[in-house]
A and B are shown apart, each in its own frame.
Chain A
Amino acid sequence: MTPIEKVEGRAIPFGLKNVDTDVIIPAHWLKTVSREGMGQGAFESLRADPDNLFDSAEFKGAPILIAGDNFGCGSSREHAAWALGDLGIRVVIAPSYSDIFSGNAVKNGILPVVLPQAAIDRLMEVAKTDPVHVDLDTQTVTTPFQDRFTFEIDPFRKMCLLGGLDEISLTEKSGAAISAYEAKIAQTQPWLQPATVES
């Protein structure tokens, strides 16, 4: 995973609320066994419109996406995060996210910034003409016009994003605790072992 600390560039003033992962990447793009190349299918239905923001000269390849409430709702497909990443997006800024999407984003080096709607409204204005600066270390979003918004982020997620860390390796350090838990359950709740089924 690519570490992320500071991202500066154009921010796509998208702004829609309840954007579901079927819109971010339709199901027919899920028929793949790889994670690559999904940017082509990102926002397919919206990009059918030749005047869409994503393919405009101004915003093509922009690293930041500004969205509305409940971004990434619906399907758990991580393909949504892969598609955004492949499109070049490193940061999404929205008032809220679906729980599954924000987890998927972090695991793919995409920072989901949460800011109140008033800040979103202001950034949507700025983004039309000017770049936006996001700093994960200081947890701030700033603009060339002295706007400065601070955001909260779970410390573990921050650490993973800053370090580009692989969560499985981190968890494997707890291998002994997992084994102890398994041994305890085998004793106290043996019925949790699925019954044997003859096939």
Chain B
Amino acid sequence: MNRPRTLYEKIWDAHVVEQRPDGTALIFIDRHLVHEVTSPQAFAGLRASGRTVRRPDLTLAVPDHNLPTTARKDAAGNRLPITDTESAAQLAALEKNAPEYGIRYIDAFAPEQGIVHVVGPEQGFSLPGTTIVCGDSHTACHGGIGALAFGIGTSEVEHVLATQTLLLQPAKTMEVRVEGEVGPGVSAKDIILHITGTIGAAGGTGHVIEYTGSAIRALSVEGRLTVSNMAIEGGARAGLIAPDETTFAYLKGRPYAPKGKDWDAAVAYWKSLATDPGATYDKSVVIDAADIAPSVTWGTSPEDVVPITGVVPDPASFADPSKQAAAAKSLAYMGLTPGTPMNEIPVENIFIGSCTNSRIEDLRAAAAVLKGRHKADNVKWAIVVPGSGLVKAQAEAEGLDRIFTEAGLEWREPGCSACLAMNPDKVPAGERCASTSNRNFVGRQGPGARTHLVSPAMAAAAAVTGKLTDVRELMA
């Protein structure tokens, strides 16, 4: 009998092109997603060495990071130019490189355009059991449908374009099991924030994390994508959630997904991928879902998580001296005093969006809180940025856009937006933002910006009260 294997080991084994004696293996890449920021130097490298793209058919390009989220066409339907010349040049490079190398390209004006990690699953381009790479660390996201998906640097982008492979060292495996039922007001985002707080920002380094347990199984595909998206915030290059009926129902009929007999064969294969009984992980963590509250970050590392009912911690309360120093620096940057209740911290900015939380379920959760309410006066800037044009259309069909605009929030065009301060959407220095994105790093949302990571419902609650708020208090 074969040795019992984990989901990760099964996907790895199925993609070994060549095993090397030193333990590394040449791994085949089934899907390569490309965006405008980390690809220009890779295409330049191909050009300089006279190489071509080996498998343009397995490659999909879409712009997202640089695109402004304001209107892309004027009232007459004319395309508006991008005023930032550097952004415009980077976007133009992708628009030129993709067709030149025969790569399918979704342009900025197409209804399918969106954040690459929203577009991949939504188009059925990302599939269970596949290897997926992209020059973006949040590629971990696609693990939510059971793909081994991870971010790569630009040299690796060039390597995949040229060879459709990567030379990799196998990762260690880690199981994060979340058992039980989460309480009301607790979303997938709270689950992953809680996990990151528990295992730490380096807790998964060198590992691929498989999320298991009844609380994970109960999540929709959107929720699973949110969880796996932030595997990287716990140090793991990839996250994984075993594909199941929920996954299959989500993917069936999507444009690039298998059809007819191919679909049946694919589903049969995907069902064989779940971790075998008796397979072991190098590391395991068990979390009781009942312990997870609506969560919020207080510092500048995604491990700096407390329940909204908690207080800003005292740096002296950490055992590790280097963490004490880091916490003190974080609090100085964040302008926070130890002991302050989290739910008394005022916020001037609200960002609902990013590859973590911009899918239809996220927008529904935010709208449910905002319906019939209005943002507080001290909230100066509040934007909702759908993850793709298709999410935007769906939200508009459900009337969610009107709930947002009537509540005083802006309804934007799809893109990465205020997650990373490389397009016009930025948080001013010294101001706070309740943000549904994934990173609270120093300067991430703009120089001097202070980020508090939260779920979409929690961001909506903060918009209503003008301070970090326990969304459960606003739930009927």
Contact = CB atoms under 8 A, between A and B. Distances in A.
A74 interface: yes
A189 B151 CA distance: 25
Contacts of B24: 154, 156
Nearest to A175: B163
A70 interface: yes
B17 A96 contact: no
Given A16-B326, A191-B262, A32 B86 contact: yes
A16 B300 CA distance: 13
Nearest to B26: A174
| Range for the number of chain B residues in contact with chain A | 35 or more
Contacts of B206: 99
B28 interface: yes
B269 interface: yes
Contact of B164 (A32, A44, A178): A178
B113 to A, nearest CB: 13
Interface stretch (A4-12, A53-61, A76-84): A76-84
Interface stretch (B209-217, B240-248, B253-261, B285-293): B253-261
Contacts of A40: none
Contact of B439 (A22, A79, A108): A22
Contacts of B256: 194-195, 197
Interface stretch (A23-31, A127-135, A137-145): A23-31
A168 B235 contact: no
B163 A172 contact: yes
A31 B235 contact: no
A90 interface: no
A20 B137 CA distance: 12
A68 B322 contact: yes
Contacts of A68: 322
B180 interface: no
Contact of A174 (B18, B156, B420): B18
B381 interface: no
A56 to B, nearest CB: 19
A69 B202 contact: yes
Contacts of B164: 178, 182
Contacts of A44: 443
Interface stretch (B4-12, B34-42, B67-75, B455-463): B34-42
B421 interface: yes
Given A171-B159, A171-B165, A172-B163, A156 B38 contact: no
B308 interface: no
A75 B137 contact: yes
B421 A27 contact: yes
Given A23-B443, A193-B57, A32 B153 contact: no
A147 B282 CA distance: 34
Contacts of B54: 178
B443 A45 contact: yes
A35, A97, A178: most-surrounded residue (chain B CB, <10 A): A178
A47 interface: no
A161 to B, nearest CB: 13
B306 to A, nearest CB: 17
Contact of A100 (B51, B158, B159, B237): B237
A156 B255 CA distance: 40
Contacts of B26: 171, 174, 177-178
Contacts of B139: 76
Given A23-B443, A195-B256, A100 B151 contact: yes
Contacts of A35: 41
B20 A194 contact: no
Interface in B198-214: 201-202, 205-206
B360 interface: no
Interface of B: 17-18, 20, 22, 24, 26, 28, 30, 37-38, 40-41, 44, 49, 51, 54-55, 57-58, 65-66, 84, 86-87, 89-90, 93, 124-125, 127, 130, 135-137, 139, 150-156, 158-159, 162-165, 167, 169, 171, 201-202, 205-206, 232, 235, 237, 255-259, 262-263, 265-266, 269, 301, 303, 322-323, 326, 420-422, 439, 441-444, 447
Interface of A: 15-18, 20, 22-23, 26-28, 30-35, 44-45, 68-70, 73-79, 81, 96-100, 103-104, 107-108, 154-156, 167-168, 170-172, 174-175, 177-178, 181-182, 185, 189-195, 197
14 contacts: A18-B326, A20-B301, A27-B421, A27-B444, A32-B40, A33-B89, A74-B439, A77-B37, A104-B153, A107-B153, A178-B164, A189-B269, A194-B125, A197-B255
Given A20-B441, A107-B155, A181-B17, 7 more contacts: A22-B444, A27-B422, A31-B84, A69-B322, A73-B235, A174-B17, A189-B266
Pairs A-B, 10 closest by C-beta atoms: A78-B153, A76-B151, A191-B262, A191-B258, A33-B40, A104-B153, A70-B202, A31-B86, A27-B422, A107-B155
